[in-house]
C-alpha cells in the first residue's frame, strides 16, 4: 500500500514533529511590567488605581526607572510618593528571565542560558568587538523550521517568547555587564551593548507581535534607546511578514539566503518550499523603500560542495541585482551530528572575491565563541531533554 502524506500533495513540509506550547504566563499574582508597551503600561497602571489624569506622567516615571535606571524594586523609585510605591508593589513586579548559566569564551564572547516561565530555556549571546558590542537574542524556544544545517532546528519543543522575555534578555545582559547608569555619575556614552541582532534561537517573524512590541521598547527614545539602525532582524524568509517588519518595526533586515537555486534552497531552508527564491526576492526589493533603510544583509552559510561553487557566486550576484545589499558569508559552524562540512578557507575567499568584484561588500563572518557552542546556528537549549517520548508517556500511563 502506498501511503500518501498530505505534504506530498503540494503543501510544503516546513515543520517537523514539534510540540508547540501556548504562551504560558503565570496566572494570578502581580503582573510583570517588563515587556508592556507604553499603552499597555498605562492601562495596567489605571486598572491598579492610578487616576487617569496622572497616568501619562506615571507611565513616564515608571518607564524611566525600569528601562533607564534598571531598577527592579519599587521602593527605589524615589520620585514617587510612598503610598503610590506601595500600590505598585502590591500589583506589579519587575522581573527578568533567570540566568541559569553563564559561559565566557576565550575570545570574550559570553553565552547565557536563560530560564523562562514554564521552565523552558533559551540562549543569549554577547559578542564584544572593537568599538562595539552585539547582543544576539532569541525569539522562540527552539524553532518550528528545520533548516538542515542549523542546530536549533533539531530542537523539538517550541514556544514563542513574550515581549517581556525578549526585552528581558537585553536587560539581564546589561546587569551582567554592569551597564546601567549610576545616578549622579557623569553620563557615560560608551555602550558595551551597542547593537542587537535577532539571530538567536527561533524565527522572529513567526512571533511577530511579541518581537515588534519588544523592539518598540528597546527603540523607545527614553530608556534602552537602541536606534532602529542598530537592530538587525534575521529571517529565514517569512515573506508575508517582511513588509510588516518594515512598516511596524523599521529595523534592519537580514535574510538567510544560503542557496541560489530553489532545488538547493528547498533542502537547506525548507520554508523555501512555501515561499521560493523569486517570491522572497520580490518582497526584499520593497523593503528598503518601505523603511527608507540601508542595505539588506544576505546571509550565506558556506557548506562544502553544497552551495559554494563559483557558479553559485555568479548566480547569487545575478539574483540580487538591483537590491541594495551586502552579503555576509558565514563559515558553517559544526555541531554534533551535523550533516555538512565547512567550506575551505580558499573556497570561501574565492566566493567572496566574485561577489566583491560584482560591487557588493562580502564580509566573511568570524565565528565567535565556538569553544562554548555560541557561534551562529549552534544554539540549542536542553529543554527537550526533559521531555518524555510518547513511548515513555504511554508506558508510564500503563503502570
Nearer to ligand SF4, 77 or 214 (CB): 214
Site for ligand SAH in 300-329 (CB under 6 A): 301
Check residue 143 for interaction with ligand SF4 (CB under 6 A).
yes
Site string for ligand SF4, 238-257 (x = CB under 6 A): ------------------x-
Cα distances (Å, whole numbers) of residue 331 to 28, 40, 298, 326 = 47, 42, 14, 16
Nearer to ligand SF4, 142 or 250 (CB): 142
User: Would the annotation count 136 as a binding residue?
Assistant: no
Strands 195-198 and 231-235, sheet pairing: parallel
Residue 83 burial (10 A CB sphere; 0-12, 13-18, 19+): exposed
CA dist., res. 325 & res. 329, Å (int): 13
Site for ligand SF4 in 93-112 (CB under 6 A): none
Strands across the sheet containing 325-331: 98-104, 110-115, 121-129, 132-136, 195-198, 231-235, 252-256, 296-302, 325-331
User: Would the annotation count 258 as a binding residue?
Assistant: yes
List the catalytic residue out of 241, 299, 376, 384.
376
Contacts of range 6-13, beta carbons closer than 8 Å, 24 or more positions apart: 12/270, 12/271, 12/273, 12/274, 13/270, 13/273
Which does residue 260 touch among ligand SF4, ligand SAH, none (CB within 5 to 8 A, set by kind)? none
User: Would the annotation count 333 as a binding residue?
Assistant: yes
Nearest to 104 by CA among 397, 374, 346: 374
Nearest distance in Å: CB 381, ligand SAH: 14
CA dist., res. 380 & res. 149, Å (int): 13
Query: Which helix (H) or strand (E) segment is 127 a member of?
Result: strand 121-129
Q: Identify the residue among 35, 97, 133, 153 touching ligand SF4 (CB under 6 A).
A: 153
Check residue 74 for interaction with ligand SAH (CB under 6 A).
no
| Catalytic status, residue 376 | yes
Which does residue 362 touch among ligand SAH, ligand SF4, none (CB within 5 to 8 A, set by kind)? none
Check residue 376 for interaction with ligand SAH (CB under 6 A).
yes
List the catalytic residue out of 121, 123, 299, 384.
123
Nearest distance in Å: CB 269, ligand SAH: 7
CB within 8 A of 4, min separation 6: which ones? none
DSSP state of 35: T
Read off φ and ψ for residue 62, nearest 5 degrees.
-65, -40
User: Would the annotation count 203 as a binding residue?
Assistant: yes
CA dist., res. 80 & res. 83, Å (int): 8
User: Would the annotation count 150 as a binding residue?
Assistant: yes
* Residue 59 and residue 45 in contact, taking contact as beta carbons nearer than 8 Å: yes
Site string for ligand SAH, 218-237 (x = CB under 6 A): ----------------xxx-
Q: Identify the residue among 145, 167, 211, 233 touching ligand SF4 (CB under 6 A).
A: 145
Strands 31-32 and 92-93, sheet pairing: parallel
Check residue 241 for interaction with ligand SAH (CB under 6 A).
no
CA dist., res. 297 & res. 309, Å (int): 20
Site string for ligand SF4, 197-216 (x = CB under 6 A): -----xx-------------
CA dist., res. 258 & res. 230, Å (int): 23
**142 dihedral zone (left: phi>0; alpha: psi -120 to 50; beta):** left
Check residue 199 for interaction with ligand SAH (CB under 6 A).
yes
Site string for ligand SAH, 134-173 (x = CB under 6 A): ---------x---x-xx-----------------------
Check residue 252 for interaction with ligand SAH (CB under 6 A).
no
Query: Which residue sits closest to ligand SAH, CB atoms considered?
Result: 377
The angle formed by the CA atoms of residues 116, 118 and 121, to the nearest 5 degrees, is 40
The contact set with ligand SF4 (CB under 6 A) reads 143, 145-147, 150, 152-153, 202-203, 236, 256
* Catalytic site positions: 123, 376
Annotated binding site for S-adenosyl-L-methionine: 202-203, 234, 256-258, 333
The contact set with ligand SAH (CB under 6 A) reads 143, 147, 149-150, 199, 203, 234-236, 256, 299, 301, 330, 332-333, 376-377
Amino acid at each position: 500500500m502506498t501511503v500518501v502524506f498530505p505534504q506530498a500533495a503540494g503543501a510544503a513540509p516546513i515543520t517537523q514533529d514539534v510540540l508547540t506550547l501556548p504562551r504560558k504566563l503565570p496566572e494570578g499574582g502581580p503582573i510583570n511590567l517588563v515587556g508592556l508597551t507604553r499603552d499597555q503600561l498605562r492601562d495596567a497602571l489605571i486598572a491598579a488605581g492610578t487616576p487617569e489624569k496622572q497616568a501619562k506622567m506615571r507611565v513616564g516615571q515608571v518607564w524611566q526607572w525600569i528601562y533607564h535606571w534598571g531598577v527592579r524594586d519599587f521602593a527605589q523609585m524615589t520620585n514617587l510618593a510612598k503610598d503610590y510605591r506601595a500600590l505598585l508593589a502590591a500589583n506589579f513586579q519587575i522581573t527578568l528571565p533567570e540566568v541559569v548559566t553563564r559561559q565566557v569564551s576565550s575570545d570574550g564572547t559570553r553565552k547565557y542560558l536563560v530560564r523562562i516561565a514554564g521552565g523552558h530555556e533559551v540562549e543569549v549571546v554577547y559578542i564584544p568587538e572593537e568599538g562595539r558590542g552585539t547582543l544576539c537574542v532569541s525569539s522562540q524556544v527552539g524553532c518550528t523550521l528545520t533548516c538542515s544545517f542549523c542546530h536549533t532546528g533539531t530542537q523539538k519543543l517550541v514556544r514563542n517568547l513574550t515581549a517581556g522575555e525578549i526585552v528581558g534578555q537585553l536587560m539581564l545582559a546589561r546587569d551582567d555587564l554592569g551597564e546601567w547608569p549610576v545616578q549622579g555619575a557623569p553620563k557615560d556614552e560608551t555602550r558595551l551593548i551597542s547593537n542587537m541582532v535577532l539571530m538567536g534561537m527561533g524565527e522572529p517573524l513567526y512571533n511577530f507581535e511579541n518581537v515588534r512590541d519588544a523592539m518598540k521598547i528597546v527603540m523607545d527614545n527614553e530608556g534602552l534607546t537602541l536606534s532602529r539602525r542598530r537592530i538587525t532582524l534575521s529571517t529565514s524568509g517569512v515573506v508575508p511578514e517582511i513588509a510588516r517588519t518594515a512598516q511596524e518595526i523599521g529595523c534592519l533586515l537580514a535574510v538567510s539566503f544560503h542557496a541560489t537555486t530553489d532545488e538547493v534552497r528547498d533542502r537547506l531552508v525548507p520554508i523555501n518550499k512555501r515561499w521560493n527564491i523569486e517570491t522572497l526576492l520580490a518582497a526584499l526589493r520593497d523593503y528598503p523603500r518601505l523603511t527608507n533603510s540601508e542595505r539588506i544583509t544576505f546571509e550565506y552559510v558556506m557548506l562544502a560542495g553544497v552551495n559554494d561553487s563559483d557558479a553559485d557566486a555568479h548566480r547569487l550576484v545575478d539574483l540580487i541585482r538591483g537590491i541594495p545589499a551586502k552579503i555576509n558569508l558565514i563559515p558553517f559552524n559544526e555541531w554534533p551530528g551535523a550533516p555538512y562540512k565547512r567550506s575551505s578557507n580558499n573556497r570561501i575567499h574565492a566566493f567572496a572575491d566574485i561577489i566583491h568584484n560584482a560591487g557588493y561588500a562580502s564580509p566573511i563572518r568570524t565565528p565567535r565563541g565556538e569553544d562554548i557552542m555560541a557561534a551562529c546556528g549552534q544554539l540549542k537549549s536542553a529543554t527537550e531533554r526533559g521531555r518524555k517520548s510518547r513511548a515513555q508517556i504511554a508506558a508510564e500511563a500503563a503502570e
